[in-house]
Amino acid sequence: MTKIFHRIKVWLYRNLLTRDNPNDYIARVNAERSLGIGDVCESAVTRGGADVSAAAMEHAVSLFLKEMGYLLCDGFSVNTGWFTAGVHVRGVFDSPDETFDPKKHTLLFEFHQGALLRRELETVTVEVLGLAETGATIAQVVDVKTGSVNSLLTPGYNLKITGDKLRIAGSSTANGVYFTDTITGERTRVDATDIVVNNPSELIILIPALAAGTYLLEVTTQYAVGSLLKEPRTATFEKPLTVA
Q: What pLDDT sits at residue 133?
A: 67
Q: What pLDDT sits at residue 19?
A: 64
Q: What pLDDT sits at residue 175?
A: 96
Q: What pLDDT sits at residue 135?
A: 74
Task: Please tell me the number of Cα atoms within 13 Å of 84 on its side-chain side.
Answer: 9
pLDDT tens per residue across span 129-145: 988 766 788 989 999 99
Q: What pLDDT sits at residue 168?
A: 96
d(CA 207, CA 68): 30
In three-state form (DSSP H/G/I as H, E/B as E, the rest C), the secondary structure along the chain is CCCCCEEEEEEEEECCCCCCCCCCEEEEECCCCCCCHHHHHHHHHHCCCCCCCHHHHHHHHHHHHHHHHHHHHCCCCEECCCEEEEEEEECCCCCCCCCCCCCCCEEEEEEEECHHHHHHHHHEEEEEEEECCCCCEEEEEEECCCCEECCECCCCCEEEEEEECCCCCCCCCCCEEEEEECCCCCEEECCHHHEEEECCCEEEEECCCCCCEEEEEEEEEEEECCEEEEEEEEEECCCCEEEC
| Predicted TM-score (pTM) of this structure | 0.64
Residues of the chain with pLDDT under 70: 1, 19-20, 22, 133-134
